[in-house]
Structure 1
């Protein structure tokens, strides 16, 4: 956890922010990569803080303004979200071109390595990409100069081991330090005897181990969770959640057209002019869906949900009215090794109705660049690390037997 999420970003920000602990023998003009200074750094920090409100709640703690907080208690999870989720979009046009493309290789490698399941082809791509990143780091920053040898930290070299270690041990996110630090926090909260803290900690750890052993042997004695009050279980891990309309919602002409154009109305059925809307949806991976993607004919599409609803008194059809984003900008995808997905928001011009169970995962769509008058606003994709990532240039095999 510390190597890619804390140590490596620490080195990169020392370089990008022109911190003097690394600039021992160089002139300012020798650092073309030092762009996060002065007003640029102030403006960038505000952009990072503003981006947090576009991320789903399942992303947990969103990053604070790095210009103000990065040197005073910035958490590991904030670094992860800032650098590896928001980084491709927020550093676009900020870092000079060769350094930005180099940074995208790091993002591609870490995003693939951090998945909970990874195919052999994806692992090969991730390992190759991280090796290229390490070699290019020496050419771009270190430049084979002996007075810059202190640029080469252990966090750079250790990237070359992530691929082989994943092959030997399985996905590294499942054995990362997150688990250990979480259990330390849980055990710490159980200690109730400050005068004899370590003895109390030992007893609490033994009690937790005994409970876990019993649950492993007899899972049926564990606590069974119940669906929230007022929810509607659709099966397969999908649950409609409140709030729900008390009165029928009258569909707008554009919404009526989207529903009529779909294949979910029976032939000859009367026009549906009103429905009862649901506010939230829990999908099969436990995330609460607001912004998400869907799959139509095996083509990944990104969409904003307007609302969820049921057709028919017996609720046989549970649907979502969505506004589709445009297809990703192919030129930007190619330029960034597939880690920056930029789409246009089309609002009511692209309304569609889909089945709820075609929603795969919750993602964030964050504003990209400055708004151009008369053009649709553009947004970039932000995915939570650990889940399968969208990258058309590192798809890998779909064979389950090919997973690591």
Structure 2
């Protein structure tokens, strides 16, 4: 598709259509692609070069699904080509989902048929001399829904089990002098653990994935005294939760609140707050992992409560130990983990479902740490920031010990 849009596909011109993008615009797109990597967590994708000739299949998949809708917006002379490109990204998202209903598979099949027919209209144009515009890969797209219908999700069929197990073994390879003995011992001990679990019903006790919901990590500040502005924000949060008055809450807040800089969500993402980024985040050489997706219950005009998606930058994590004063109601004597977040002005849009941009950030807020559900990436283009949210139940590459 990129070769079509850059006028380099098998010597074909645009024919009766007008989908080419100028070379200087492509230079800007690839530059923005390379610059976006710094703002995308490393667990999303490896480094993307500023030229597509070095892209792997993984890189192309990520670019089409997450970056193309952001970087190609407004680049075509006719928006229909952009919509067609975004439709391909949606199809890829559907193909790598972890679970399906038959209704969703039928919808995927309809989308694939519609996309291929539209492709033929725009690029093949039903002309014999443009027959080379129809490679076999696009025809193969029509068979993917049937493969999923009869064989299951791609995560269960399009995988290389031996290669995955080799990845597990490689992760535990520590001996440089006796690597083969190291591998042998690891395989034997994994088998021992498996047999112990099977014989004595110890699968749950021997599980390596039994953790609390959130795991806090250094940097850690034991003696942290929030300033007046932060105490005001904390009081506003508890006042909303307890339906009390801020002036009654604020004097009862603890004087010292320890704070943490990093967080790992169990079976989820690693998140690094701005506290862990140092004094000057612009000089930080690590990939940015401080922007998050969080979900709050919001009361609509009719009084009903609905779940709403927000995005923002995680500033720090506070540990708030409440007293036994009766004003705290059912929270009395408990410890609350609180996230300090600077929200992005995204107007409640869900970037996992629609292309979402923002140009400004609002005042910091305090909320429960459990509302943070995922880390996100960002890509800047022409003065706007696009949100990269992969929390839509899609397949991600990973290695877990058996």
Q: TM-score, normalised by structure 2?
A: 0.72
Q: CA deviation at 1:188?
A: 8.6
Seen in structure 2, the aligned counterparts of structure 1 residues 32 and 181 have a Cα distance that, compared at 3 Å, is: farther
Q: Tell me whether 1:316 sits opposite 2:335 in the alignment.
A: yes
Cα shift at 1:17? 2.3
TM-superposed CA distance for 1:182, in Å, is: 4.2
**Shift in Å, 1:54:** 1.2
User: What secondary structure does 1:59 align onto?
Assistant: coil
In the other structure, the counterpart of 1:400 is none
Give 5+ residue unaligned stretches, structure 2: 272-289, 298-306, 323-332, 396-402
Provide the C-alpha distance between the structure 2 equivalents of 1:238 and 1:160, rounded to a whole number of angstroms: 42
Q: CA deviation at 1:64?
A: 1.8
Q: Does 1:357 align with 2:363?
A: no
* Partners of 2:221 and 2:260 within 8 A in 1: yes
State the 1:159 CA deviation.
Answer: 1.5
The answer to whether the aligner puts 1:343 opposite 2:349 as a matched pair is no
What is the rounded CA distance, in whole Å, between the counterparts of 1:274 and 1:311 in structure 2?
A: 8
1:98 and 1:139 map into 2 onto residues whose CA distance is 12
Which residue in 2 is equivalent to 1:256? Answer: 231
SS of the residue corresponding to residue 235 of structure 2 reads: helix
User: How far did residue 97 of structure 1 move?
Assistant: 1.4
> Which residue of structure 1 lines up, in the alignment, with residue 390 of structure 2?
384
Are residues 183 and 85 of structure 1, via their aligned partners in 2, closer, same or farther at CA, if it must alter by over 3 Å?
A: farther
SS at match of 1:80: helix
Structure-2 change in CA distance of 1:276 and 1:134 (3 Å): same
- Tell me if 1:370 matches 2:385: no
Confirm whether residue 15 of structure 1 aligns to residue 24 of structure 2.
no
Change (3 A) 1:136 1:43: same
Q: CA deviation at 1:143?
A: 0.7
Partner of 1:292: 292
Q: Render the CA deviation track for 1:268-292: whole Å, top value 9, x for unaligned.
A: 4416466332111111323113322
Q: 1:325 aligns with which of 344, 351, 354?
A: 344
Report 1:68-83 matches (<5 A).
70-72=52-54, 74-83=55-64
The equivalent residue for 1:124 is: 106
CA distance in 2, matches of 1:244, 1:208: 34
Match of 2:97? Answer: 115
SS at match of 1:107: helix
Q: Distance in 2 between matches of 1:181 and 1:122?
A: 30
Shift of 1:354: 1.5
What RMSD over aligned residues (CA atoms) do the two structures have, in Å? Answer: 3.7
SS at match of 1:94: coil
Contact 1:328 1:342 in 2 (8 A): no
* Whole-angstrom distance in 2 between the partners of 1:170 and 1:27: 40
| Alpha-carbon distance in 2 for matches of 1:252, 1:62 | 42
Measure the CA separation in 2 of the matches of 1:188 and 1:280: 27
Give the Å deviation of 1:50: 0.6
The count of aligned residue pairs is 340
Give me the whole-angstrom Cα distance separating, in 1, the residues matched to 2:160 and 2:74. 33
Which residue among 110, 130, 144 is the counterpart of 2:126? 144
Whole-angstrom distance in 2 between the partners of 1:318 and 1:126 = 41
8 A contact 1:240–1:278 mirrored in 2: yes
> Greater relative contact order (Cα 8 A, min sep 6): structure 1 or 2?
1
CA distance in 2 between partners of 1:149 and 1:139 (Å): 12
**TM-score with structure 1 length normalisation?**
0.71
Q: Deviations over 1:69-128 (max 9, x none)?
A: x224x2222222222121210111223411110011111121122122234443333332
* Contact 1:108–1:129, Cα closer than 8 Å, also in 2: no
For 1:292 and 1:188, locate their aligned partners in 2 and report how far apart those are by CA, in whole Å: 31
Identify the residue that residue 243 of structure 1 maps to in structure 2: 219
Contact 2:6/2:23, CA 8 A, preserved across alignment: no
